[in-house]
Structure 1
């Protein structure tokens, strides 16, 4: 289940989290030490440990914050559209916008999952939760279109979504999100989704 940090962060803790988030994403989690974070944030290592307890918990806070921003962003874009077929298309438009703004190194969750080799690291659970949430979002949207096989279609839409990130960031296909959006429309049309031209 997705949970967020309940205790408000102090100004120093917010600064630490902002700095750590930028460094973890731009340089990688494993190569960024607490000394660098403390130096860049203008605090002592003791302050970081007082606020977060450990690097592991700081990593989780980074991933949770980034995950929440993505969920809020995507949900706002989806809810601005109707019918459900347009909402599905909006997920890919939102992905394109997000990659333009802050995903120059690809998906932070996938990157973290690859870096955190310990299967018990709680950061991996954050990444897994986000991907399951996205899959359930697609499953709900597909079910509302009336298309057959919503579970299988949701799986496919998630794969299109994730593949667009890789295609853009690894192979430089700048219109990847637009391409998969059109592929999704074709797929939904083939499965009898309402609100699409059946010709």
Structure 2
């Protein structure tokens, strides 16, 4: 199961870079990317404008770093599951549980990639990164489904991606405590319906 981040840093980020990224991650997710200006991020991070442009070469660079961080967090969820078990069926259960926890506790204002895509409708570096992330997510789920012996791994993966998208949006609108269990219940139903036993 591939969990390598799309971009891997050669060293730990500098404290100033990390403060900028932390501030941008919080503000972009809570308030939207286009509504948050560079000056606001600089103020929140407590750095100079020169430091900001040295680290990220502008706002788009910071947006890309923010989304790469979100990508790495989801990859880390798979890596954590992989460290707990090498059984693909168990891994699927662990990933579903991890996604449900994420819906409840962290991503309470929708999917950061869907939110970003709405603000960047045209082709460009941001949309390319979003597309790359979603292809990795779908392919990794299909790989797990295939390893678990499910009869339609590509369909299972597509359904799980769709369910996560809906749950992240639905959690924001209807409440995480209602949507989280519904996501897990429906995701397990998708997996059960594609098990060899269901087709025997």
Taking structure 1 as the reference length, what is the TM-score of the superposition?
0.86
Shift in Å, 1:187: 2.9
CA distance in 2, matches of 1:76, 1:185: 20
Q: Which residue of 2 aligns with 1:104?
A: 108
- Alpha carbons 2:159, 2:190 under 8 Å: kept: no
Kindly report which structure 2 residues correspond to 1:41-190, keeping only aligned pairs within 5 A, or say none.
Answer: 41-81=45-85, 83-120=87-124, 122-172=125-175, 174-190=177-193
CA distance in 2, matches of 1:82, 1:19: 36
CA distance in 2, matches of 1:147, 1:28: 39
Flag as ranges the 4+ runs of structure 1 deviating above 6 A: none
Q: CA RMSD in A?
A: 2.4
Structure 1 range deviating more: 185-194 or 140-149: 185-194
- Alpha carbons 2:167, 2:179 under 8 Å: kept: yes
Taking structure 2 as the reference length, what is the TM-score of the superposition?
0.86
CA distance in 1, matches of 2:14, 2:83: 32
Q: Which residue of 2 aligns with 1:40?
A: 44
CA distance in 1, matches of 2:70, 2:190: 30
Shift in Å, 1:62: 1.1
2:23 aligned with 1:13: no
Give the one of 191, 194, 199 matched to 1:191.
Answer: 194
Cα distance change, pair 156–9 in 1 and its aligned pair in 2 (3 A): same
Cα distance change, pair 101–192 in 1 and its aligned pair in 2 (3 A): closer
Cα distance change, pair 181–81 in 1 and its aligned pair in 2 (3 A): farther
